[in-house]
């Protein structure tokens, strides 16, 4: 999948690579990864959710993580996603 063709910025592409390797990312991890503000991170991550590339899971400020849609499906089925 060519992420640039989907209209992602460099920060979002970097984050998608990180999620693919680690399985998830938090807003705090995104801000650290890209050296940006929390507000910018929220906007970028929300765009990734809107495009269907990530799913937001969890509740509260610190409990929210962003995962790949296939990862969510696999873990709900009890399959090992890796």
**pLDDT of res. 74:** 54
- Output the CATH code of domain 10-76: 1.10.10.10
Distance CA 61, CA 59 (A): 7
**pLDDT of res. 42:** 95
Tokens standing for residue 76 = 């709900």
| 23-66 pLDDT tens trace | 999 999 999 999 999 999 999 999 999 999 999 999 887 889 99
Residues 6+ apart with CB under 8 A from 62: 26, 28
Q: Domain locations in the chain? A: 10-76
Strand order in the sheet with 55-57: 24-25, 65-67, 55-57
Residue at token pair 């296939």? 70
pTM for the whole structure = 0.81
């Amino acid at each position: 999948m060519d992420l640039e063709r989907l209209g992602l910025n460099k920060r979002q592409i970097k984050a998608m690579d990180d999620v693919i390797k680690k399985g998830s990312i938090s807003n705090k991890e995104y801000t650290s990864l890209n050296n940006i503000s929390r507000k910018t991170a929220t906007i970028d991550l929300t765009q990734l959710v809107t495009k269907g590339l990530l799913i937001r899971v969890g509740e509260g400020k610190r409990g929210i993580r962003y995962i790949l849609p296939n990862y969510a499906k696999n873990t709900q089925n009890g399959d090992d996603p890796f």
